Amino acid sequence: MKKVYRSQKDRRRAKLRAKIEGTNSRPRLVVFRSTRYIYGQIIDDKKRETLVSASERDLEAKDKELTKTAQAEMVGRKLAMKAEKRDIKKVVFDRAGYKYHGRVKALAEGARKGGLEF
């Protein structure tokens, strides 16, 4: 039988998801980072639904001229603004196996500046 190997990122993701769960009172803020864009979603795992989402694709044209890190921070702030409209103040941060630096860190700091607590 062929042995299946998991990537380091998949192993980190599995370990994180075993410990983190989004509830109605404290949903999960998950980050997805592609080479082109960064996405953030606030998810309620109990109901299995996405409450709020934001991405670089939602940004205005003037914001797209910024660096990727600055754009990620803008996405975090936009996500926090949308969450505030839905009365979401506290979340659990799920970095989805990505290391906490660069664009992932910028998104998290932008969400904190926007008013989210985690």
Query: 54 φ, ψ to 5°?
Result: -155, 155
Beta bridge partners of 52: 42
- Rounded to whole angstroms, what are the CA distances from 92 to 49, 63, 66, 88, 114? 15, 27, 28, 11, 15
Please state whether beta strands 28-33 and 92-94 pair in parallel, antiparallel, or not at all (unpaired).
parallel
* Number of independent structural domains in the chain: 1
70 or 20, which is more confident? 70
Confidence of residue 36 (pLDDT cuts 50, 70, 90): very high
The burial class, CB within 10 Å (0-12 / 13-18 / 19+), for 84 is middle
Q: What is the domain-level CATH number for residue 29?
A: 3.30.420.100
| pLDDT (0 to 100) of residue 7 | 83
| pLDDT (0 to 100) of residue 14 | 85
| pLDDT (0 to 100) of residue 51 | 95
Residues of the chain above pLDDT 90, percent: 64
Q: Is residue 11 part of a domain?
A: no
| pLDDT (0 to 100) of residue 54 | 96
* pLDDT digits 0-9 by tens, 86-105: 999 999 999 988 899 999 99
Q: Quick check: 21 and 45 in contact, CB under 8 A?
A: yes
Q: Which domain holds residue 55?
A: 20-114
| Mean pLDDT, residues 43-62 | 91
pLDDT at 15 over 90: no
Q: Is residue 3 part of a domain?
A: no
